[in-house]
Structure formats: C-alpha cells, structure tokens
Amino acid sequence: MGPYQVDDLIITTEKQGAERFGTFSYPVRYGHLSEIRTPSFTFQFNLDGELKFIEGRGNGWPYPAEWLKRTAGNDWVYYSAGDYKGIYDLLGEYYYPHLSYPSNSILGDNPFESRRLAGVISAWKALRHKTGDLVSRALPEAVHALLLSIARNTPGQRRLNFIT
C-alpha cells in the first residue's frame, strides 16, 4: 500500500527495501518494512510492528545519514557517519556503531548522553501512544493492523520471533 496520511503522520505499510546486497556509503534497508514519518523522525518497523530503525529529519538531527537501530535484545545502536573518511580509514566501514552501553565503546564518544537521543526515545513513546489513539478511526485495513501492532508492542515486552 502506498503512503497514507493521518494527521501529521505519513504511513507506508509493507514497503519494499533494497533487493541487492552490497557495500554502500548510505543507509540501506533490506526486505519488507513498514514506515511512519513524522515532521521530525522516520520510524521503521518490521511487519510485526516492532520498531527497528529511527532516523531524524530536519535541523535537530546531526546528519541525515545517521540512525538508531533497535536490536533483537532490545538494545539501541547509534550509527554515526562521523566524517566518512576518518571512520572508513579507521574501521573500513562507512558508519561507526555507538552502543547504548559504554563498556564496549571504541572511540569513547557516547551520543546516548545527549538530549537529542533522549528526545528520540520520547518521540517513539509518543508515537506508540498516538497509534493507540488512532486505531479507533476508520482507516484502511493494512494501516489499522500496523497501528494496532505498534500500539501493542511495548519496549519491555518485545517478542523475539526467532525463538520457538
């Protein structure tokens, strides 16, 4: 389904990611995902409505190609582009992963201490609350199902689909 607008949200269900694997100097998503764009952020979900990626939009975000990833263990990883040349020269990759816990930091920088990333997590909580409010509206079936699954997925009770 193409983009559907509800209030200030632009919702895309079952968006097709890239089909070809490779090394790119910009973020690439593979497989199918769903996406909600707000004026400040892009939230990307797996098809079960579990949050996978957040990208900032606008002036409050440091660099448009940086993003947050939520892992299967419910940890956060912030991918920083830094200055492409320095990161690439140091690691052989275009992005540096900042882990949400300082014990494994390579460079010592901790973006999770910034107000910017605290605002991202607050925005996600606000989005989950808003999706819960929107499910009572008359919406296309795919949009309704996505919003309902997002509202039901809480950070502390994330389902791990690879465990049977």
Phi and psi at residue 112, to the nearest 5°: -70, -10
156 pLDDT exceeds 60? Answer: no
**pLDDT, position 163:** 35
Average pLDDT estimate for 56-84: 76
Mean pLDDT over each residue of the chain, to the nearest integer: 78
First to last CA, the chain: 30
How far is Cα 24 from Cα 115, in angstroms, rounded to an integer?
29
Average pLDDT estimate for 98-124: 72
111 pLDDT exceeds 70? Answer: yes
Crossing angle of helices 141-152 and 115-134, in 10° steps, is: 130
How far is Cα 99 from Cα 121, in angstroms, rounded to an integer?
15
84 pLDDT exceeds 70? Answer: no
Phi and psi at residue 35, to the nearest 5°: -140, 140
**pLDDT, position 146:** 92
Lowest mean pLDDT among 37-51, 85-99, 103-117: 85-99
Parallel, antiparallel, or unpaired for β 41-45 and 96-99?
Answer: unpaired
**pLDDT, position 104:** 61
Nearest alpha carbon to residue 148 among 11, 32, 30, 3: 11
160 pLDDT exceeds 80? Answer: no
